[in-house]
Amino acid sequence: MQIQPNVSYLPDAVLEARASRLIGRYGQAYGALSEFPVPVERIADLLLELDLLWEPIPDTPETWTLAYLDPAIRRIGLNETHQAHFDTFFGTYEFTLAHEIGHFELHVLDAELAPLPLSAQPGEDRRGYLCRSQGRAASTAQPYDRRELQANRFASFLLLPEDLLRPAVRGLDLTRRPDLDKLRRLCRVSLEALKIRLQGLGWLYVAPDGALYHSEAEAQGQGRLF
Amino acid sequence: MSPILHLTAFGQRIKTLRRERKWTQGQLAEALAKQGVSTTVSYLSKIENAHVEAVPSEDVIRGLAAVLLESADELLELAGRIDPRSLQAAISEQPAAAGLLRRIQNGDVTSEQLRRWLRETERNVRGSDADSAKR
């Protein structure tokens, strides 16, 4: 995967601090968060005053779109054509909102916004972030926009802050699927998003074959047994 | 006010009132359901962003007024929806209005005549407002 070169690099520590600061701002306005789930819809709608609109967003033959951010009119558009996808895949709605919030918090000053394929008044040029399905976009040979990766990382930090996760995992065995399922339902995220975050924190190791271990060392130890 | 301006002002007002109550669109839909008004989050998002093709029904507007603690008449007016009850009350108070409506119904008055009459009435009202201001 090629990374688009002309976008600033933001290390994870910065993305995590930005997500944490936003949670702090929400806490000041609406009361501190002490448990999951992180109310991303309330953060987008009430704190940041981003308008949420369900509308049909045209797909292309290669990619389909879940949402877009139009910073000029402070709007997150959600593709109602894919409502069933949001309903079926647990955590997709929350992750999509967190991703768009990420663009809003990290990238709105960026001048290189893409044209939005939406109806506009004559002479109106609507630009923003069109967030296509990650699987298909990542599989193409086109350079992958670094901002999309940053928005995903930001979403992970926003939905799964370490200070809320630490007490939530107490007593759970993170290598056991039922425990992971319980945790992801509590946090309202997909299993994949949860595993990535736990691995980032060093609390879980996912082997290339998908097997789960408490650490990489444990995985290597297991490997040496056979 | 044109229909689109009515819808924009109405949507903005609903969004403001909902946010003042610290509700999400989903919570607003739930509150409406408790009032027996069936809507969806998608529809409410369209109302708020003036993406509806038609003015919401009177039942929806009255439901919104009830849960958002706003005057139904004010919201109906903002949405550009004529309230049949107020219309009936106005006709009872102004018998000449009933005569006018009958003539419109019978096709005795053309749209152009009506528009001209509305323009003239508006000019007269503005003129008398200006006179009162001078005094």
Q: Does residue A68 contact residue A77 with C-beta atoms inside 8 Å?
A: yes
Residue type present at position B134: K
ipTM of the complex: 0.82
* Pairing of β A114-115 and β A75-79: unpaired
Half-sphere exposure of A4 (CA within 13 A, CB side): 14
Residue B56 has what DSSP assignment? P
* pTM metric for this prediction: 0.80
Of B9-13, B66-70, B89-93, the range with the lowest mean pLDDT is B89-93
Nearest-Cα residue of chain B relative to residue A53 = B45
Interface residue A120 vs chain B (CB under 8 A): no
* Main-chain dihedrals φ then ψ at residue A77, nearest 5 degrees: -95, 135
Instruction: Among A19-28, A104-113, A133-142, B16-25, name the one with the lowest average pLDDT.
Output: A133-142
Residue B30 contacts A, CB cutoff 8 Å: no
Of B22, B41, B42, the CB nearest to A46: B22
- A186 pLDDT above the threshold of 50: yes
Distance CA B55, CA B47 (A): 9
Does residue A36 contact residue A183 with C-beta atoms inside 8 Å? Answer: no
**Inter-chain CB proximity B15 and A51 less than 8 Å:** yes
Rounded to the nearest integer, the mean pLDDT of chain B is 87
Q: What is the pLDDT of residue A137?
A: 41
Residues of A in contact with B51 (CB under 8 A): 53, 55
In order of B65, B83, B91, B92, B97, the CA distances from B88 in angstroms are: 21, 9, 5, 6, 10
Q: What is the pLDDT of residue A111?
A: 52
pLDDT tens-digit readout, A192-216: 999 999 999 999 999 999 999 999 9
Q: Which of B14, B19, B20, B24 to mutate to test the interface with A (most CBs of A within 10 A)?
A: B24
pLDDT band at A122 (very low <50, low <70, confident <90, very high): low
Please name which of A97, A158, A146, A103 lies closest in space to residue A128, comparing C-alpha atoms. Answer: A103
- List chain A residues with CB under 8 Å of B24: 41-42, 45-46
Contacts of B26 in chain A (CB under 8 A): 41
CA distances from B27 to B21, B22, B30 (A): 10, 9, 5
Contact A45 B24 (CB under 8 A): yes
A33-47, A146-160, B85-99: the lowest-pLDDT one: B85-99
Calpha distance A86→A66 (Å, rounded): 9
* Percentage of chain B modeled with pLDDT above 90: 45
pLDDT tens profile A124-133: 777 776 776 6
Q: Measured between alpha carbons, how far is A18 from A154 in angstroms, rounded to an integer? A: 8
Look at residue B65 and give its three-state secondary structure: helix
Q: In the prediction, which pLDDT does A215 show?
A: 92
* Window 38-57 of A, Cβ < 8 Å to B: 41-42, 45-46, 49, 51-55
